[in-house]
Amino acid sequence: MPASSLRLDKWIAGAGLSSRSDAKKLIRAGRVTVDGSPITDPAARCDPASEIRLDGERVAWQEYLYLMMNKPAGYLSVTRDDRGPTVLDLLPPALRKRNLSPAGRLDRDSEGFLILTSDGDFCHRVISPKSGVEKEYHIEVDRPFPEGAEAAFAAGVPLEDGEICLPARLEPSEDRLSARVFLSEGKYHQVKRMALAMGTRVKRLRRAAIGGVPLDPALAPGAYRELTEAELRRINCHFVSI
Ligand code: URA
């Protein structure tokens, strides 16, 4: 048995996002074939080179999982925390066992696009400022952004602790009470601290895009889906620089 083999029920559950018990039922019902032969034992092992079919449809091997989630306010972007519910609590038990972690944090009161993945290297590259993956935030603030805030963002905003942010883009609305912010790094509470440095306070923050991939508008708060191949490619193309 190859070291990288996987139980058949785990393969089906992981790929189809069905629960492990549903996957077992499908296998026992004789609906799954491995390299052309029906297999009815959910514990049978298969390696990544096997051709697995469910009802005749090819089921791809998935070593890693990549999810796009629309994070609602009120959830922590960590895998476990005693202070309250985490984004993993929004997933069914079968997915909670897939070793998923958030690729970058959103504060408890922040909303929007969060990537959850079991691929640690991908996670690191999404977060690292060296890879230049741009994140787009939509914010509402309690006082209008002052004139000159765009230039300050472009030059690098100095934070209250003296740290200077990398050059970023601020696109305020006409009344300057809301804005789109584009950043390629993720310091602690960065957008809120940049706004404070401009004399205004963030009332609402939503991440709208990562690496040029927009949050799917069909995802209600708390909903998720797998990132498509094309979306992963688009995010991945930023990684050439590191
Ligand atoms: N910047 C913040 O201040 N908060 C977030 O949740 C994300 C970016």
State whether 73 and 108 are in the same domain.
Answer: yes
Interaxial angle between packed helices 20-28 and 8-16, expressed in degrees from 0 to 180 and rounded to the nearest 10: 120
**Does the residue 158 lie in any domain?**
yes
Same domain (yes/no): 169, 201: yes
pTM summary value: 0.77
Q: Are residues 85 and 113 in the same domain?
A: yes
Give dist(CA 206, CA 138) in Å, integer: 5
User: Residue 44 sits in which domain range?
Assistant: 6-58
- Protein residues with CB under 6 Å of any ligand 1 atom: 106-107, 110, 189-192, 205
141 and 202 in a common domain: yes
Residue 1: pLDDT over 50 = no
Contact status, residue 197 vs residue 158, Cβ threshold 8 Å: yes
The answer to whether residue 242 is domain-embedded is no
In a domain, 113, yes or no: yes
Ligand 1 centroid to Cα of residue 202, in Å, is 9
Q: 145-193 pLDDT, tens per residue? A: 999 999 999 999 999 999 999 999 999 999 999 999 999 999 999 999 9
CA atoms within 13 A on the CB side of 192: 12
- Please give the mean pLDDT across all residues of the chain: 90
Looking from the CA of residue 186, the nearest atom of ligand 1 is: 8
DSSP state, residue 103: S
Q: Is 1 a member of any domain?
A: no
CATH number at residue 218: 3.30.70.580
The answer on 117 and 83 residing in a single domain is yes
Q: Which residues contact 83 (CB under 8 A, 6 or more apart)?
A: 76
34 located within any domain: yes
pLDDT per residue over 80-135, tens digit each? 888 899 999 999 988 888 889 999 999 999 999 999 998 888 999 999 998 889 99
In this structure, is the dihedral angle defined by the CA atoms of residues 185, 189, 195 and 197, taken in order, positive or negative? negative
220 shares a domain with 124: yes
Question: For the chain, how many structural domains are there in total?
Answer: 3
* For ligand 1, atom 5: residue with the closest CA: 106
Q: Are strands 169-172 and 178-183 parallel, antiparallel or unpaired?
A: antiparallel
217, part of any domain: yes
CA distances to 5, 104, 152 from 217, rounded to whole Å, are 37, 20, 31
